[in-house]
């Protein structure tokens, strides 16, 4: 039986996510807290033969506790490493080595790491399940599971929900994972970022390319109920890719004009407001955000928010008014409580205590793999840039040919880069990366820059043109 | 059923404290350690459905371990947060939010915090029991329970014990809680502070006002056995307030002359010496304490100490001689061991595993409440002064009218302040706070200073006198 | 029943070590991991009434987790202190006090401390078993147990194994404990240190004096199979001391010429290569080690390494090639996994869950004890040098008379010093320490220097000679 990991939310199929949610429902129903039905109480005798280790290279009491609680409520045992300075990384140990020792102790390992892609590296060297509890600005997939589960519990289904995203949409890994998850389950995404904190281009590009999630500008959303609603764009996913034509005149790439037929008044009510804090720790040192907006009862007076669930991944700072705490629409503490049943279900699934939740094999990747060091990831916070990890790690990239220029996505941090040059090993020639490929030749080689091509012994394709 | 917390020792009635001690006795009797009958060994199957979380914003391995041990010996489970830097406070989260998340994970939460009143705040936002494991210089009530329990185990009863307090009586929260506890149970308190480290005035004032505990000066204690005993004052609590006249001529306030008839030689033997270390971490940066005294076998040669139990909350530094360690009177390690059965009993009571220990409602407060921001607590280390907590926290004060001037006690840190001005909302007039009130009018308003009164739109009561 | 501790590997007899290994074998056989037979899975119901506390004054996630895992796999409970700053040592508490409090909570205590001898101090004040998880540069006996166990599992027996030691043999406590263990079990020790990082003289002296382990130089090892093998010396232990003559012409002290008859080609194959990292944290601040050697597949090409098990206590830095990870000879991760069954067996033995593993009394020391403060240990990192511990600790030394000059070994850190002067209390005379004693007089007194002798009221033995 193959070992499954949860590094990104894409490691789970939609069916698997739904199966995890059903199991979480079961746990909630069978372990109710008197008076707080969203809360798990008591312990089950399910995991008493298992040990979960938390390995936090970056401190987070909340997240660590939620995993440890989940394991304890399953009847299991916990090894706890709370503090970055107490890990053997301080002695220069690599992630691969740490994991290969730890798998001798624990049956499942939860990792938080400040570098993007670090947990993916861990998963490649582990034969026990690895769970990503946050790797830098990359992913925090169990938070996404909790967010989606909260929406489903509160609203019955994720399909066609209008979800407003509020605050720092630029730096928050939580939000990036969430938008992909929302797209996959067919919710409509309505970004309302603080000024200068919009969704990054790489996220919106992936939404369209990888999740068939189409950006519709407000101008185009006539009759959808967005009048006087200061929204620039809404992301909508048709049920099936071939239904894209439901949004008439969608142009496959570069959509400058779009006629849209959403249901009448489809956007006139907001099902959920997802509020995020300013991710100060992921911003450059001198960045600042004066006038970062606040969601409070005043903001929610508008009738389109009358039934909005207000969500927040917590901790909040000042972006969410305390006056909301007693408002029935505030579900952020309930959302935190759902972290326990969801993580219980995930752990039970990965440990195969509940064997029918996950399929035998993880969801397929549809892109080709390129694994040579002639290109490198240009994300400065990628794990492949760490000196310790370079001792053993070969960069790996998925090669994406759908974009205008051939693009590579780092297998670890999932950051996308565009190699400057492309070569063919059969001819030992290289040329600038400037055209779209219909399909990828077997002998292709990618180069971060021309120097890398020359160092690899390649010649320019059309030498005469270079004069 | 109402949730009970232990924030200050006053949250428990005397009967409840005795019930906790009886339960601790039971645990000790049923879980004996061979050869060390003061020590708990083995684990009970009582709390196997419960999780206790420790949340230490200030490090203390000893205290944390004593709670975690107690929970484990009850058969329960532990979430452990040892280190201030690993809490989400570092991300700017408020106490209220932290607790409201954590109560979804744990069934009971133990908190240590550097700010006075912080644990009270936590208790107001929690629907699971909160235990104060030390909040700045304020309280450490489980230490007090252990101290009182040790006295009772060693001496059979607390009634009429002579307890000598030695060392830093000024800065130690342990000592302040203990003196209130001793007064409530009728022990006599004999302070023997290091020079400059006497009981603060607010403690002696509360002793008299709130616990009917009368200071008797040595001059007045003729025939009580204090000859050649360098003690300035003894605090004595009559069994019932109306028996105060047993100490004849006690003047209700400002006792300059006092004739005292304690039993013959009542103070000629000391039942217990409670030694404390210099609380260096609570002193101003430039404070020093040269010649801080030491209790050792030499000091205990005097015959009045022949049967004295020597106690210490530990850790000791140099104020307690190592030559005492093998002396039969040294009970400080036994005192530490009692921390386990006492905390087991407390946890079992709060979780209602043992349902008959605590009453349905906490002991009544007898003072009126004032909750408006026209006054503030003048304790610079009060939790109400933290910027993060001010986002949601309204100051609250108990109004005390027994003193010469109307006094307020912060509901959180219990520090007492005297508002400079008092107003009446019916007349919108204010006047200086300089008289005693027989009873408190409903429409009273309190002002930290005159500016606050003016800002609130009040006029001086007798304007003509102000010229 | 006497409480047993594990402070140094010498606290266990060979028979006890073998009994621990047999118990570890049992655990491995009864708790197999599917597909990884070197790994423990599941939990036993053996230690469910017991609590193990880890007290790490120096951070080490790996070592801490290995102990906590072992306790959990035995069914027991854990109190965890991961971080040096969260211990009460920060408040100035002594080791003795910390342990005397902690023994009231836990049934067995695991300690790591930066000072040599600190864990021995703890063991003297504890009536529950203490396990040394590393005390400065002194010992790490459970690592040694794992190392020996790995060799025995991989090779069937320790007898006559050729074990190559590679890297930093100077600063590594792991290596020092291992060489004593190898000597006791009759393995041959072949040091191959990095330049300037050879075994210290005190280790080689103890090898010969205390373990009858004889250094044989390469010149003398003709026909043993060391041709073209860049080894300076091999340490060989005859089965019984009186068999030393098997190595003909062994001179009891100062062996300049030696004729050696080892079995033909005895050293032509290496059974195990034990690789160590540079102990940077134990080196003086300005020390450096350029060109620190690396063991990799290239190095292991030589046919004498064809069946060598490659071991490493981990974490590795750059001294062990990642290209070895997939090599069948690499057993370092398996070695780490053996830490769990070995520590399970040790804990079960010390807690007497398995009562027949340890004898009633620890192995005897054969030297006399000297416990007066006229001499002090000259190891600057010895626990007896700590100001806090000097409040209560009397230095203690074993007196060794086998060497050319009378030598003392600190009872705590085991560092050996040579007192400059020796006195007799019967005559109150002292003289320089310059002769060998056949037996030790009862009235002997030792002085670190002449000033100590004079301060103690002693006179020079031959006053006339001093002119």
A181 within 8 A of A9, measured Cβ to Cβ: yes
Q: What confidence category does residue C255 fall into, taking pLDDT thresholds of 50, 70 and 90?
A: very low
CA distance B226 to B270: 10
Measure the CA–CA gap between A136 and A380, rounded to whole angstroms: 11
Banded model confidence at residue A212, pLDDT cuts 50, 70, 90:
confident
Q: Which residues of A touch C80 (CB under 8 A)?
A: 80
Give the position of tokens 């100062």. C254
CATH topology of domain C142-335: Rossmann fold (3.40.50)
Banded pLDDT at A284 (limits 50, 70, 90) = low
**Chain A residue numbers touching C318 (CB-CB < 8 A):** 391
Query: Would the CB atoms of A92 and C317 count as touching at under 8 Å?
Result: yes
Q: Report CA Rg, chain B.
A: 23
Q: How far apart are CA C119 and CA C105, in angstroms?
A: 18
Say whether A91 and C281 touch across the interface (CB within 8 A). Answer: yes
Q: At what angle do helices C201-211 and C173-184 cross, to 10 degrees?
A: 20
Share of residues in chain C with pLDDT > 70 (%): 88
Q: CA-CA distance, C411 to C406, in Å (whole number)?
A: 16
The 3 state secondary structure assigned to A150-175 is HHHHHHCCCCCCEEEEEECCCCCHHH
User: Using the beta-carbon criterion (under 8 Å), do C49 and B65 form an inter-chain contact?
Assistant: no
10 Å CB burial of residue C230 (0-12, 13-18, 19+) is exposed
- The answer to whether C281 faces chain A, any CB pair under 8 Å, is yes
In tens, the pLDDT along C129-168 reads 999 999 998 999 999 999 999 999 999 999 889 999 999 9
First to last CA, chain C: 58
Q: Give the highest mean pLDDT range of B240-244, C49-53, C83-87, C296-300.
A: C49-53
CATH number belonging to domain C9-139+337-350: 3.40.50.1370
C314 contacts on A by Cβ (under 8 Å): 93, 97, 101
- Residues in chain C with CB shorter than 8 Å from the CB of A74 are none
Which tokens in the block code for residue B313? 């909350």
pLDDT tens digits for range B308-321: 999 999 999 889 99
Count of beta carbons in the 10 Å neighbourhood of residue C423:
25
pLDDT in tens, B11-58: 999 999 999 999 999 999 999 998 899 999 999 999 999 999 999 998
Please report all neighbours of B, defined by 3+ CB atom pairs within 8 A: A, C
CB A215 within 8 A of CB A234: yes
> What confidence score (pLDDT) does residue C279 get?
75
Confidence (pLDDT) at B90: 62
Encode burial over C46-59: b for 16+ CB neighbours within 10 A, e otherwise.
bbebbbbbbbbbbb
CATH 3.40.50.1370 in chain A: give the residue spans: 9-138+337-350, 142-332
DSSP-derived secondary structure letter, A214 = E
Spatial separation of the C-alpha atoms in residues A61 and A71, rounded to whole Å: 15
Q: What is the dihedral of CA B116, B120, B126, B129, to 10 degrees?
A: 100
Kindly report whether the peptide bond that precedes residue C315 is cis, defined as omega within 30 degrees of 0: yes
Distance from CA of A70 to the nearest CA of C (A): 17
| A291 has pLDDT over 80 | no
* Residue A371 CA neighbour count, 13 Å, CB half: 8
Which residues in chain A have Cβ-Cβ distances shorter than 8 Å to B129?
none
- Tell me if A100 and C41 make a contact (CB, 8 A cut-off): no
The strand pairing partners of A116, in sequence order, are A382
* Minimum CA–CA partner of B55 in chain A: A61
The answer to whether the Cβ–Cβ distance between C315 and A51 falls below 8 Å is no
CA distance C200 to chain B (A): 37
Do B55 and B95 form a contact (C-beta atoms < 8 A)? no
* % chain A with pLDDT above 90: 68
DSSP string, B324-360: GTTSTTB-HHHHHHHHHHHHHHHHHHHTTSSTTSS-S
Mean pLDDT of chain C: 88
From CA C88, how far away is CA C90, in angstroms rounded? 5
State pLDDT tens for residues B332-346. Answer: 999 999 999 999 999
A81 touches chain C (CB under 8 A): yes
Furthest-apart CA pair in chain A: how many Å? Answer: 80
Q: What is the pLDDT of residue A163?
A: 96
What percent of chain B stands above pLDDT 70?
88
Q: Select from A62, A317, A333 the Cβ nearest to the Cβ of B92.
A: A317
CA distance A332 to B104: 12
Q: Do A315 and B93 touch (CB under 8 A)?
A: yes
Indicate the DSSP class of residue C153.
H
Report yes or no: B128 at the A interface, CB cutoff 8 Å: no
Q: Give the torsion through C-alpha atoms of B301, B303, B307, B311, to 10 deg.
A: -50
Rounded to 5°, angle at Cα A164 from A159 and A165: 115
- Chain C residues in contact with A391 by the CB 8 A cut-off are 318, 322
- In C, minimum Cα distance to A393 occurs at C322
Across the interface, do C93 and B39 touch by the CB < 8 Å criterion?
Answer: no
pLDDT at B435: 83
Nearest chain C residue (CA) to A96 = C322
Please identify among residues 11-70 of chain B the ones whose CB lies closer than 8 Å to any CB of chain A: 48-49, 51, 53, 55
Give the residue ranges of DSSP H helices in A269-372.
Answer: 332-350
Say what the pLDDT of residue A290 is. Answer: 66
- Give the three-state DSSP class for C27: helix
Closest CB from A88, A105, A391 relative to C322: A391
The 10s digit of each residue's pLDDT in A119-162 is: 999 999 999 999 999 999 899 999 999 999 999 999 999 988 99
Cα separation, A293 vs C103, in Å, equals: 54
CA distance, residue B61 to nearest chain A CA (Å): 15
Where are the CATH 3.40.50.1370 domain residues in chain B? 9-139+337-350, 142-332
Q: Is C87 within 8 Å of chain B by CB?
A: yes
As a whole number, the mean pLDDT across chain A is 88
Mean pLDDT across A206-215: 88
Gap between the Cα atoms of A254 and A261, Å rounded? 19
Higher pLDDT, C173 or B20: B20
Q: Token digits for A250?
A: 């969608």
pLDDT tops 90 at residue C237: no
Confidence at residue B156, expressed as pLDDT on a 0 to 100 scale: 94
Q: Which residues of A touch B390 (CB under 8 A)?
A: none
- Token pair of C119, please? 């864990």
Closest CB to C316: pick one of A77, A79, A97. A97
pTM as predicted: 0.94
Mean pLDDT over residues B446-464, rounded? 89
Mean per-residue pLDDT for C42-52?
Answer: 98
Termini Cα distance of chain A: 58
Name the minimum distance, in Å, from the CA of A374 to any CA of chain C.
20
pLDDT score at B252: 42
User: How far C234 CA lies from chain B's nearest CA (Å)?
Assistant: 47
Look at C181 and C244; give whichever has higher pLDDT.
C181
Interface partners of chain A (CB pairs < 8 Å, 3 or more) are B, C
- Residue C260's pLDDT is what? 54
Q: State the Rg of chain A over Cα.
A: 23
Fold of B368-466: SH3 type barrels. (2.30.30)
CB B186 within 8 A of CB B211: no
Residues A330-360 pLDDT 10s? 999 999 999 999 999 999 999 999 999 998 7
Whole-angstrom distance, CA of residue C345 vs CA of residue C341: 6
Residue in A79, A86, A101 closest to C314 by CB = A101
- Give the separation between CA B150 and CA B172, rounded to whole angstroms: 19
For residue range A364-381, list pLDDT tens digits in order.
777 899 999 999 999 999
Cβ contact C85–B59 (<8 Å):
yes
Contacts of C391 in chain B (CB under 8 A): 318, 322
Instruction: Count CB atoms within 10 A of the CB of residue C90.
Output: 14
Cα angle value B216/B217/B222 (rounded, 5°)? 95
Hey, what are B192's tokens? 């023997």
Of the candidates A80, A92, A104, the beta carbon closest to that of C315 is on A92
Instruction: Give me the total of CB pairs closer than 8 Å, taking one residue from chain A and one from chain B.
Output: 81
Show Cβ contacts of residue C273 under 8 Å, excluding neighbours closer than 6 positions. Answer: C164, C166, C295, C300, C305, C308, C309, C310, C311
* CATH fold of A9-138+337-350: Rossmann fold (3.40.50)
User: Are the beta carbons of A104 and C59 separated by less than 8 Å?
Assistant: no
Mean pLDDT of B294-303: 92
Tell me which residue in A38, A325, A336 faces B101 most closely, judged by beta carbons. Answer: A336
Q: Which of B51, B85, B98 sits opposite A69 (nearest CB)?
A: B51
The mean per-residue pLDDT over the stretch C110-135 comes to 96
Q: What is the ipTM of this complex?
A: 0.92
Model confidence at B240, pLDDT cuts 50, 70, 90, reads low
Rg (CA), chain C: 23
Q: Can you give the pLDDT at residue B82? A: 83
Contact assessment for residue C286 and residue C322, using Cβ atoms and an 8 Å cutoff:
no
Answer yes or no: do A97 and C281 touch at CB < 8 A. Answer: no
What is the CATH topology of the domain spanning B142-332? Rossmann fold (3.40.50)
pLDDT for the residue numbered B264: 72
Q: Could you tell me which chain B residue has the CA closest to the CA of C93?
A: B315
Place of tokens 């050792």: B296
Match 């890990």 to its residue by tokens.
Answer: A87
> What is the CB neighbour count within 10 angstroms for residue C342?
28
CATH 3.40.50.1370 location in chain C = 9-139+337-350, 142-335
The tokens describing B326, both together, are 């093998």
Which pLDDT score is estimated for A172?
80
Angle of CA points B231, B232, B234, to nearest 5° = 85
Give the pLDDT of residue C367: 87
């Amino acid at each position: 039986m193959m070992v499954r990991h949860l590094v990104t939310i894409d490691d789970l199929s939609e069916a698997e996510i739904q199966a995890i949610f059903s199991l979480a429902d079961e746990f909630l129903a069978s372990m109710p807290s008197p008076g707080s039905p969203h809360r798990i109480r008591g312990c089950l005798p399910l995991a008493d033969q298992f040990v979960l280790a938390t390995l936090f290279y970056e401190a987070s009491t909340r997240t660590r506790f939620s995993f440890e609680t989940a394991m304890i409520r399953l009847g299991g045992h916990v090894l706890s490493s709370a503090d970055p300075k107490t890990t053997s990384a301080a002695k220069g140990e690599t992630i691969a080595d740490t994991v290969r020792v730890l798998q001798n102790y624990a049956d499942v390992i939860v990792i938080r790491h400040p570098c993007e892609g670090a947990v993916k590296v861990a998963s490649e060297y582990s034969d026990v399940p690895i769970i990503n509890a946050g790797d830098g600005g990359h992913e925090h997939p169990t938070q996404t599971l909790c967010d989606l589960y909260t929406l489903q519990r509160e609203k019955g289904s994720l399909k066609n929900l209008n979800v407003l995203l509020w605050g720092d949409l630029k730096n928050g890994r939580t939000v990036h994972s969430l938008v992909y998850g929302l797209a996959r389950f067919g919710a409509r995404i309505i970004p309302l970022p603080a000024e200068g904190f919009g969704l990054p281009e790489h996220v919106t590009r992936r939404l369209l390319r990888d999740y068939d999630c189409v950006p519709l500008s407000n101008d185009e959303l006539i009759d959808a109920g967005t009048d006087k609603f200061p929204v620039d764009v809404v992301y909508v996913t048709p049920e099936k890719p071939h239904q894209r034509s439901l949004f008439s005149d969608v142009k496959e790439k570069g959509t400058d004009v779009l006629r849209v037929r959403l249901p009448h008044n489809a956007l006139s009510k907001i099902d959920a407001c997802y509020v995020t804090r300013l991710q100060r720790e992921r911003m450059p040192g001198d960045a600042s955000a004066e006038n970062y907006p606040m969601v409070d009862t005043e903001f929610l007076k508008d009738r389109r928010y009358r039934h909005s669930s207000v969500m927040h991944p917590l901790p909040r700072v000042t972006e969410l008014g305390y006056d909301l705490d007693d408002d029935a629409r505030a579900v952020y503490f309930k959302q935190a409580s759902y972290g326990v049943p969801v993580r219980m279900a995930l752990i039970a699934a990965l440990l195969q205590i509940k064997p029918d939740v996950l399929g035998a094999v993880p969801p397929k990747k549809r892109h080709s793999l390129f694994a040579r060091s002639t290109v490198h990831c240009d994300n400065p916070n990628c794990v492949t840039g760490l000196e310790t990890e370079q001792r053993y790690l070969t960069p790996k990239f998925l090669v994406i040919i759908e974009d205008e220029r051939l693009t590579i996505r780092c297998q670890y941090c999932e950051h996308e880069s565009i190699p400057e040059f492309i070569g063919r090993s059969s001819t030992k020639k290289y040329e600038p990366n400037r055209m779209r490929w219909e399909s990828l030749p077997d002998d292709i080689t990618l180069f971060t820059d021309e120097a890398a091509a020359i160092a690899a012994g390649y010649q320019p394709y059309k030498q005469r043109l270079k004069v």
